[in-house]
Amino acid sequence: MTDQAIAPAHNETLDIGQSIEYLKQRFPEAVKDDTRQGYSGIVVARDQLVEVAQAIRDDLGFDYLSSATGVDYLGVEDSMEMVYHSYRTTGGPALVFKAQTERENARIPSLIDVWPGADFQEREAFDLYGIRFPGHPNLKRILLWDGFNGHPMRKDWHEAYYESDLKPFDSRWPKGYARRAEELNMFGKNVAYPDDLDLSKLNDTTEASLYSGMGLGVDVSNLSGPGELRTDRLVVNLGPHHPSTHGVFRMVVTLNGETIDSLEPVMGYLHRNHEKIGERNTWNMNMPYTDRLDYISSMGNNHGYALAVEKLMALGARYTPPTYRAEVIRVLMVELTRIVNHMWAIGFLLNDLGAFFTPALYAIAEREKILDFFEATAGSRLMCNYMRFGGVYKDIPERIHSTAVLLNDKVRDFNTLEYLTELISERLPRAVDELDRFLTDSEIIRARTIGVGILPREMAIGYSAAGPLLRASGVPYDVRRADPYSIYPELDFDVAVRYNGDIYDRYLIRIDEMRESLRILRQILPRLERTKGESFFAGNKAVYAPRVPLGEAYGRVENPKGELGYYTVSQGDPKGPQNPWRYHVRAPSFINLTPLGQMAKGSKVADVVAILGSIDIVLGETDR
């Protein structure tokens, strides 16, 4: 019977259960079910991980490695593990597989040869967990500096002057004596250097690994080749403070003449260990922190986190899914956010191309109208903190309304639904058309972008590119359709896709996506009217410290910048812990940078700026 199940020639169509059966048949020694409470997927023996991964990719067709992340189970199992989520680009749920290692001298073979997209994610796991990946060609720290002492995501690592492992802190109530945290954490004393670190040599050693292999110090006289210029390589640091990097981001570029030989992204200048903070927080507290990831599209970040925790809550006995009205409001917010983000992205891509701020301001002016609505509904323009587990913070207000006080006196008063209707059916479509007319045919833009920064289809999939970057390379992969969530299945829209994979297509696809978002929003408006007065929250809204049943969950949404995933683990306290054991963000801005070096190779310095602009990163999310 099982032979029948694994026999078909088209293994690519096996569902998850059958795929796991197939793997167990093929690797009886190495593959085991993950039987822990609330967990799913398989545990793969370390020594056969690469073979199993190859089978998962080639035989079973899971060609897209969405997320790879470490987890430290100190005190639970005293081991560490890597968790991989692989998907098919044709759609469907994830095949989750894990590899475990001891905590001391942790080693797990690198999957970079199977999925090159594992590159940055494995480097991150090495940086934050200290897991070594034999086979990785460039295993060094990525978010922290080379002199950093220890691996901060390990459960036994504490920063200097840390107060407590978990929030809420006891010192706040009932005997709360305020003091400034800064006074405890005086500048200069919060860094512990490793014992073997010689500070006087820091400048020589820390960057050496970065610059090695860049062809510096070449003896020019030995360069041969008839008719070829004998040139040394020139290393240019673009950034960290550079207007084109939209924040603090650095690209170390080796130039041969004006052509780029290699490009190495250097990041982490904005790193604040978002995930460690997240593991200290209670489940609820993380919501406003997610706003600060991709701060252009905070509603989308909220949505992803709410989905992940709701998935975890669904493992328990008492769980009420969000109400229909809540889902409608969520989709309304998220699609408006997509327009906000794409307006911004296009505006600043044009900035990078040299059209300084005219297109950007035209785009941002339209964005303001959406932010006004966010402000009236959620209370803030950027840091919305609007979604909750089971619904949203508050219903959409009757009126966008303000009263004059001494502080500020210019009053506005609009009917919210009329405002939204006019915005969605008149103003935004007009704005998108205008942007299209303004930019799409411009000869300068076409000359600068067509055929530049090409990312071929296979490479885009292999490098785990997501969002517009992936879809502009001819892969019609959109989480809203591939692995549907919320009320997207009942909405009528198309997945925008373009095929050339250059900057121009990445620009066009954002215009397409804004039009598709408007199409969704036009379907949302009647649903909003129909569900008026219904409950926008399921469950008890007064629960300020929800307990979440044991288990793991990976919640992902199609954020404007690409697939945003949250891997959350609930462990420890058997009653259901108040704080997440593991909280990982699969950040599209971070992983989309993996193919940047490949895309930039062979182009000019000015093109790199445009290529980076077309990926559309936000450093709050890249560096976390």
Partner 1 sequence: MYGQGILKGLGVTFKHFFATYVEDIRHVGGKLSSNDKFARRQGVDAMGLYTVQYPEEKIATPERFRFLPFLIVNDDDHPTAPGEIWCTSCGICPKVCPPQCIWILRSEDPVTKRPVPKPQSFFIDMDICMNCGYCMEFCPFDAIKMDHDYEQASSDRTQNHIFNMEKLSKPFAYWRQIAPTTAWEEAVERGGWEHIDVVKEKKKAGQPVAQPGAKWDDPYVPPIVEKPEEPAPAAEAAPAGEAIADAPAPAAAEAVSDADAERAARKAKREAALAKKHAREQDGGEG
Cβ atoms of residues 276 and 581 within 8 Å = no
Helix (H) or strand (E) holding 79: strand 79-87
Least Å from the CB of residue 570 to partner 1? 19
**Of 178 and 317, which has the nearer Cβ to partner 1?**
178
CB-nearer residue toward partner 1: 377 or 517: 377
Minimum distance of partner 1 from residue 423's CB (angstroms): 5
Shortest distance, position 408 Cβ to partner 1, whole Å: 3
DSSP lists the bridge partners of residue 235 as 254
Pick between residue 64 and residue 507 the one whose CB is nearest to partner 1.
507
Residue the block writes with tokens 């954020």: 559
410 near partner 1, judged by CB under 8 A: yes
**Nearer of residues 80 and 336 to partner 1, judged by Cβ:** 336
Rounded to a whole number of angstroms, the minimum distance from the CB of residue 429 to partner 1 is 12
Exposed (0-12), middle (13-18) or buried (19+): which is 93, by Cβ within 10 Å?
Answer: middle
Least Å distance between CB 445 and partner 1? 8
Site for partner 1, residues 151 to 180, rule: CB under 8 A: 167-169, 171-178, 180
| Closer residue to partner 1 in complex, CB, 177/187 | 177
Alpha helices (H) along 199-323: 202-206, 208-211, 274-280, 286-291, 298-313
Q: Which of 67, 245, 273, 377 binds partner 1 (CB under 8 A)?
A: 377
- Stretch touching partner 1 by CB under 8 A, among 91-99, 400-408, 459-467, 483-491: 400-408
Report whether 117 contacts 455 (CB < 8 A).
Answer: no
Among 187, 317, 403, 574, binds partner 1 (CB under 8 A): 403
Site for partner 1 in 443-472 (CB under 8 A): 443-446
Residues in contact with partner 1, shown as a per-residue x/- string from 350 to 369 under the rule CB under 8 A? --------x---x--x---x
Cβ closest to partner 1, residue 423 vs residue 615 = 423
Q: Please give the Cα distance from 530 to 316 (Å, whole number).
A: 31
Give 12 or 375: the residue with its C-beta nearer to partner 1. Answer: 375
Show the site string, 180-209: x = touches partner 1 by CB under 8 A, - = not.
Answer: xxx---------------------------
Distance separating alpha carbons of residues 463 and 619, to the nearest angstrom: 19
Stretch 295-334 residues interacting with partner 1 (CB under 8 A): none
Distance CA 291, CA 301 (A): 6
Q: How far is the CB of 499 from partner 1 (least distance, A)?
A: 21
* Greatest Cα-to-Cα distance within the chain, rounded to the nearest angstrom: 81
Query: What would you report as the CA-atom Rg of the chain, rounded to the nearest whole angstrom?
Result: 25
Return the structure tokens found at 119.
Answer: 């590159």
Specify the residue, 44 or 350, whose C-beta has the smaller distance to partner 1. 350
Do you know the residue count of the chain? 624
The secondary structure of 341-408, three-state, reads HHHHHHHHHHHHHCCCCHHHHHHHHHHHHHHHHHHHHHCCCCCCCCEECCEECCCCCCEEECCCCCCC
Cα-based distances in Å from 182 to 118, 193, 270: 38, 20, 19
* Residue among 221, 540, 574, 575 that touches partner 1 (CB under 8 A): 540
Residue closer to partner 1 by CB (options 217, 533) is 533
Among 114, 285, 569, 593, binds partner 1 (CB under 8 A): 285
In the complex, minimum distance from the CB of residue 174 to partner 1, in angstroms, rounded to a whole number = 4
Classify 231 in phi/psi space as left (phi over 0), alpha (psi -120 to 50) or beta.
beta
Sign of CA dihedral 59, 64, 65, 67: negative
- The distance of closest approach from Cβ of residue 162 to partner 1 in the complex, given in angstroms and rounded to an integer, is 12
Min dist. Cβ of residue 431 to partner 1 (A): 11
Q: Which of residues 7-46 bind partner 1 (CB under 8 A)?
A: none
> Helix (H, G, I), strand (E, B), or coil: what is residue 616?
coil
Binds partner 1 (CB under 8 A): choice among 97, 126, 283, 289: 289
Shortest distance, position 136 Cβ to partner 1, whole Å: 35
* Window 380-399: residues binding partner 1 (CB under 8 A): 380, 383, 385, 393-394, 397-398
- Considering beta carbons, is residue 118 or 511 the nearer one to partner 1? 511
CA pair distance 613, 349, nearest whole angstrom: 5
Burial of 418 per CB tally in 10 Å (0-12, 13-18, 19+): exposed
| Given 413, 489, 574, 575, the residue binding partner 1 (CB under 8 A) | 413
Token pair of 86, please? 């692989």
Q: Which is nearer to partner 1, 434 or 490 (CB)?
A: 434
From the list 426, 458, 490, 573, which residue makes contact with partner 1 (rule: CB under 8 A)?
Answer: 426
Q: How far is the C-alpha of 54 from the C-alpha of 163, rounded, in Å?
A: 45
Cα separation, 20 vs 22, in Å, equals: 5
Shortest Å distance, C-beta 155 to partner 1 = 20
Secondary structure letter of residue 425 according to DSSP: I
User: Which of 189, 241, 437, 601: binder of partner 1 (CB under 8 A)?
Assistant: 437
> CB 303 → partner 1: shortest distance, Å?
17
Choose which of 404, 489, 492, 574 interacts with partner 1 (CB under 8 A).
404
Q: Which of residues 258-277 bind partner 1 (CB under 8 A)?
A: none
Q: How far is the CB of 587 from partner 1 (least distance, A)?
A: 20
Provide the minimum distance between the beta carbon of 520 and partner 1 in the complex, in angstroms, as a whole number. Answer: 19
Tell me which of 419, 477, 493, 507 binds partner 1, using CB under 8 A: 419
In the complex with partner 1, the residue whose CB is nearer, 58 or 398, is 398
Which residues inside 510-539 make contact with partner 1, applying CB under 8 A? 533-535
Sheet holding 551-559, edge to edge: 551-559, 562-570, 582-586
Minimum CB distance to partner 1, residue 443 (Å): 5
CA separation for the pair 523, 14 (Å, rounded): 34
Give yes or no for a contact between 77 and 39, defined as CB atoms under 8 angstroms apart. Answer: no
Please return the burial class of 492, using the count of CB atoms within 10 Å of its CB with bins 0-12, 13-18 and 19+.
exposed
